[in-house]
Amino acid sequence: MKKAIIALFLLSLGLSSSAQTLRGKIFGKGETDKEILPGATVAWAGTDIGVAANENGVFEISTQDIADKRLVASYLGFRTDTIRVEGQVYLSIILEPSGVLLNDVVVTGDRPGAFISSLNPVKTEVITQKELTKAACCDLAGCFETQATVQPQTTNVVTNSKELRILGLSGVYNQVLIDGLPLIQGMSYTYGISSFPGTLVDNIFVAKGANSVLQGYESISGQINVEMKTPGKTDKLFLNAYMNSFLEKQFNANLALSAGKKWTTLLALHTVQPANKTDRDEDQFLDLPLLTRYMLYNRWDYGNDQEKGLFSSIGFRWLTEQRIGGQWEFDPDTEGGDATIYGQAVNYQQPEVYAKTGWRFNDDHALTLAASSFFQKQRSYFGTVKYDAEQINAYVNLQHEYLWKESHLLKYGASLRYQNIEEDIRFTFNSLQRGYAGAYNTRQVVPGVFAENAFHWNNDKVVWILGARLDHHQQFGSFFTPRTLLKYRLDDFNTFRASVGMGWRQVNLFSENINLLVSSRDIIFQEAIEPERGLNWGLSYVHRFVKGQVEGVLSADFYQTRFFNQFFLDYDSDPTKAYIRNFTGRSLSNAFQVEASLRFNKTVEFKAAYNYLDVFRVEEGLKNQLPFNPPNRLMAALSYRPKGNQWFFDLNAHWYDKQRLPDTQSNPGVYRTEPFSSPYTLVNGQATFRIGAYEVYGGMENIFDFRQLRPIISWQDPFGPYFDTSSVWGPTRGREIYLGVRWRLN
């Protein structure tokens, strides 16, 4: 009886709530069909009570205490309409074209270069083209100088390979996507983030913690989705030339064309030419590698995924790259694998192709097929280690989306992921008697099914995403991955978010841990590596305010990642060995971030952020902090852009706390490092001058020339048992001055 009363009470609340709410959808009448009007406004006549429709044209407005039940709907380019509401709870509104021919309407707006999306249920930081021009941004790894969430980390100082860390965890735990597709995986992980030029990037979406299950099961600490420029929304012609004080040169060219009634295409060329040899700390090793890269990119777009009918996007990229590092006199053509002079030489080629094709049946139904594939062939020497590898990757995702009850969006489908990495490791000389040479094959075939529903209530005041996927690995069996995300908008100025979800991934041992091959350590396999599995949960709060000419955003978030099984690369037990085993004990990452962003009169932007990291494992009852994680980090960025838009000035600074380093105390004294690094500060600045269609920019990175001196352990004896390049915790190349020029044809 009690349960029945409670049920009736809840039902009556729901009925009374719906009776005081009017919901609907706004369309615009076109030549052949109607189209949704995202952002259209509806308001009660004679009042200031109104709302804007969401991205699907859906609105929800309260009817409580409204005497005059006339609803006014409006949208730019369409006639304003007034509808009398007489008891309806749902309206479908179709606006007529205004009849005024608008040949050259330019809608302009101004927004910060980086901002937190107010629409996404998960806290998402958006880095725009405007933000990317505040620094050199030569490649994807350099696009985060004005951000606090992502930390680029060097994985091999000799060839300058990098990863992108989130929440203090290795870059393998955050999923890096290119246009929503997994094109950076396995072997492409090592150099992939450096191979995409910043001039080809449109927006970068950074989300911490649990994310959507639509793109896969791998994101544990977060997701970085890089949105490339589209031919229909970019400059017709864009040229960029750049050179730094080390005499490294870059050139970029983008050409966008219309190719028919609905086809558009973008062709891009990118090249990097090597710097001069530099060895400031006189350790006989180059401070930066000699890099040569050529890239060709072509994209074709057809139609629009928001309009009825066929839409498609097809992309192709071909990449070839050479990196040469090591001792000053090393010649890769004659001394690769030599045991008298140490050098590293990496050569690889990578063609890749991707496509997204679909059909929108109407406003509520669409079917999309997304597919991508790449092949990479690498030939390399790391001292006396010869590493040759090939990788084939393929990914297919078929998805149907259904907008039901006018605001709730269901997406479901099936995916297939295929990866095959064949690695051959040989020693040209093996005086250290290392035992890991051989042929290795890492393969995965993972079919899966997924479903995700986004519930939208009260005009997006509450958004709840509930999703799950079931995948089957050919060796390790089935994995269930549930995730849920909640956004609650208290009012127009305060938003709370929460997320929790699982993730798992297969380990690609050598391609993801290149430092195993570039040291003298022997590799000891103590057991077979199992897939890594983790749980992430997080909370965030965002407050927006406007006070006269001052706009601001304050945000705070906390995320915890807990691993149930983690691949354990043990460098501490023996400095001459790396032990490979699984870790099923307590392994946690606690990450807290608070950030303030202010805009003054739309000309001055200031941002400051603080990060706290507590990343550790508990072994034999003791809490061991993981290396290369500063527990405290500060970031500040200042931009000044006068209203004339003729010149800009940007400055950013980063302070890093001391970091725990791998234990080398059992080494001979000359080959030991301190247990902790020194705190340090990096300051970068840039000025940009605009002259017509030209932009001339120049800047300085690491203005105060801080360097980690002689980061290579046992540089005096690179073929001895203690040689190690993995103890890099700070910049090694010192101050860098650069100059560049951009030219655009709109």
For position 266, what pLDDT does the model report? 97
For position 112, what pLDDT does the model report? 66
Task: To the nearest 10°, report the CA torsion of 717, 718, 720, 722.
Answer: 100
For position 6, what pLDDT does the model report? 44
**Residue 482: burial class (beta carbons within 10 Å; 0-12, 13-18, 19+):** middle
Domain boundaries, the chain: 21-95, 114-745
Residue whose pair of structure tokens reads 């994310």 in the numeric block: 211
For position 1, what pLDDT does the model report? 47
Please name the amino acid found at residue 494: N
Please, where are the H alpha helices in 133-202?
188-191
Q: Which residues of the chain have pLDDT under 50?
A: 1-2, 4-19, 32, 100-109
DSSP assignment of 711-736 equals: -SBTTT-TTSTT-B-----S-SS--E
Q: Are strands 150-156 and 343-360 parallel, antiparallel or unpaired?
A: unpaired
Residue 633: half-sphere exposure toward Cβ, Cα within 13 Å: 26
Residue 444: half-sphere exposure toward Cβ, Cα within 13 Å: 23
Tell me 17's DSSP state: H
For position 110, what pLDDT does the model report? 53
The closest alpha carbon to 145, from 692, 721, 650, 719, belongs to 650
For position 30, what pLDDT does the model report? 65
- In CATH, 114-745 is 3.30.70.20: no
Rounded Cα–Cα distance for residues 209 and 499 (Å) = 7
Find out whether 233 and 264 touch, Cβ atoms under 8 Å: no
Please name the amino acid found at residue 304: N
DSSP assignment of 230-278 equals: -GGGS-SEEEEEEEETT--EEEEEEEEEE-SSSEEEEEEEEEEE-----
Rounded Cα–Cα distance for residues 400 and 148 (Å) = 36
For position 5, what pLDDT does the model report? 40
- The CATH number of the domain covering residues in 21-95: 2.60.40.1120
Find out whether 317 and 351 touch, Cβ atoms under 8 Å: yes
Find out whether 100 and 177 touch, Cβ atoms under 8 Å: no
| pTM metric for this prediction | 0.86
Task: To the nearest 10°, report the CA torsion of 625, 578, 562, 216.
Answer: 140
Strand partners, 249: 243, 273
3-state SS assignment for residue 54: coil
